[in-house]
Structure 1
Amino acid sequence: MTELAPGEAAKKAFRGPASAALSLEIVIVPLALLVMDKVEGGLTPAKIAWVVVLTVGMIVAIARFSRPWGLPLALGLQVLMALGWIVSPALGILGLVFCLVWAGMLWMRHEVLRRHALWADRDA
């Protein structure tokens, strides 16, 4: 087994929290249909399609997160979720909440990578 550079190990370690966040979204996003039905006056084909596309996209993102395009795909889905405000305020609010979650996770990832680089420079 080959050893990974500290920065690569930190990038690889980000897969777990990212997959956990996407898994949570896969459970929560379809539940927004209940809110849309009861609070927003019913479901429309556009609302259902938006939720189905997001949910399937998140499943694909979990399966492909190890690819170089996995993180951009997950972030793109967050943007789509925030843009869900066009279709449903409930989905837009969920999108904003999860955008904040992802922003926090990306900030923590950045900090870990930055500190790994500092430690590597210090030890060199």
Structure 2
Amino acid sequence: MTDYVADAKKAFRGPASAALSMEILLLPLSLIIMDKLEGGLTAVKITWVVVVTLGMIVAIARFSKPWALPLALALQVLVLLGWVVSPSLGVFGLVFCLVWAGMLWMRHEVLRRRAQWGAGPG
């Protein structure tokens, strides 16, 4: 892997960690919404939120590892699948899946353009 591709992939760690940090802060707050709008909390709702939040903490701590991005994306799918447990969780997951889709598209564009610039004369 050339240096510019490696640098572009390393540059993605910051925005990805920021998005995960935001989710770590907001996901537990969704319990308040579930409690007020959905008629209370259940053990399944609480467990779902706690497990996914802990997974996000692990993903941030290990984002330099090659498996961290797939872990972060799998956690996004879990939050989206939380719709089965709670509609509030599903909406939360949908919003952050769109955020991640945008970030991945930008990462792809940076890598593509860096490859074009690296392949050109000069």
For this structure pair, what is the TM-score category when the shorter chain's length is used for normalisation?
A: over 0.9
Residue identity (%): 71
What aligned pairs does 1:64-103 form with structure 2 within 5 A after superposition? 64-103=62-101
**Structure 1 unaligned blocks of 5 or more:** none
Could you tell me how far apart the structure 2 residues matched to 1:91 and 1:29 are? 8
Q: Deviations over 1:23-76 (max 9, x none)?
A: 000000000000000000000000000000011000000001110100000000
What aligned pairs does 1:1-124 form with structure 2 within 5 A after superposition? 5-123=3-121
- Aligned-pair distance for 1:123? 3.0
Could you tell me how far apart the structure 2 residues matched to 1:34 and 1:101 are? 23
Measured on the aligned residues, the alpha-carbon RMSD in Å equals: 0.9
**Structure 2 unaligned blocks of 5 or more:** none
Kindly provide the amino acid, as one letter, of the partner of residue 109 in structure 2.
E
Using the size of structure 1 for normalisation, the TM-score is 0.96
Secondary structure of the residue aligned to 1:60 is: helix
Could you tell me how far apart the structure 2 residues matched to 1:123 and 1:10 are? 20
Q: Which runs of 4+ in 1 moved over 3 A?
A: none
Could you tell me how far apart the structure 2 residues matched to 1:88 and 1:123 are? 54
- Aligned-pair distance for 1:113? 0.1
Equivalenced residues, count: 121
Using the size of structure 2 for normalisation, the TM-score is 0.97
Secondary structure of the residue aligned to 1:123 is: coil
